[in-house]
Structure 1
C-alpha cells in the first residue's frame, strides 16, 4: 500500500516538470524594422509578427481547453486573456496593413510588443497557472496523503522506526509545507500580471517561475523521502 501511494505522489510531482518546461522559448530572429524603415517594411514585419502570435495563441487555447490541471476559474481567466489577445492581434494586423504613413504604422507595430506582450506575459502566465494548479490540486495533496499514512505507521509500529527514519519523515513534512507555502496563491499571482505591469517590472514573471521551480524541487525531495521510508519499512 505504501509503495503505491508514494509512487503516485512522486509521479504527480514529477509530471509538473513537464508543465513548467512546456513553455517554448519564443525566440524571434526575424529582421525588425526601425522608426526609419519604409511603410512597406513595417507593414511586412507587422503582418509577420501578428500572424506568429495568432498562431501561438490559437495553439495555446487548444492546450488550455484540454488541460485538466487548471481550475475552472483559472481556465476561464486564461482563455479570456488568450482570446482577447487573438482579437487584438487580428485587429492590429488589419490596422497596420491599412496604415498610410510609416510613422503611424511604426506606432502600431510597436504596440505588438508593448501593449499585448503575448510571448512575455500571456503565454507564460498560462503555463505558470497550470503548473501552480497542478501543484496545489494534485501533487501536494498526494504527497501529504503519503506522509500521513507513513506517520500512522510510525504511531502504530514505533519499534520499526529508527531515529533517522523519523527525522526523514519530519523532513518530508517540511518539504511539503514549503511547497504549500510557495505555491499557495501562485496561480492568482501569475494571472494578475499585465503587460503594463511587466513593462514596469520584468521580474514579475521570472519570480513566479522561481517559486514554482522551488516548490517542484520540494515536492521531488518529499517524494524521495517517502520512497526511502517505504523501502526501509519493507
Structure 2
C-alpha cells in the first residue's frame, strides 16, 4: 500500500511538472508567432532544452517501472521529444490564429479520454477518483503517459485523438491563417511527419509492453 501511494505521489509530481512546462512552451510559441518576434538561437535552444527535460522526466518514470536497457531508454526519450515538440508546435500555431478557440480541441480531447477511463475502469466513476484523475488526465492531452501503454482502450483512444487532433489543427491553421511566412511549409511538413513518426513509436512501445507483459498495477 505504501509503495502504491509513493508511486501515485511521484506520478502526481510528474503530471504537475508537465502541466507547468508544456503550456508555458505553447504560450512562448504563441507569443513568438503572434508578434512576429524574431526567432533567435537562444530562444530555440531554450525551448528545445525544456522539451528535452520534459521528455527525460517522462522517460525516467517509464524506465523505473520497466527496467529497460539504454537503447530503449534513448529511443523512448527520442519518441517523447518528437511527440512533445509536435504537440507544442501545433498548439502554439493554432492558438496564434484562433486565440481562445484552442480550448475546444483540448477540451474535446480531455473529455473523450475521461469518458474512456471511466468506461474501462469502474473505480474512476467515484467522485474522488474523478476529481483527482480529472486533473491528472489533462496531461494526456499533451502526451501519451506511460500507464496508457498497458490498456488497449486507453491507448488507442489517446493515440487516435492525438493524431487526429494534430492533423486537424495544422490543416485548419494552414488553410485559415492570414498571410504567408517562411516557416509555414516546414511547420506543416514537420507536424505531419512528426505526428506519424510519434504514432508509429507509440504502437511499437505498446507491443513491446504487451510482449513483456508489464502489469497495469505498476502504473497506478
Same fold (TM over 0.5): no
* Structure with larger RCO (C-alpha < 8 A, sep 6+): 1
Q: Give the TM-score taking structure 1 as reference length.
A: 0.32
Q: Give the TM-score taking structure 2 as reference length.
A: 0.34
Q: Based on CA coordinates, which of the two structures has the bigger radius of gyration? A: 1
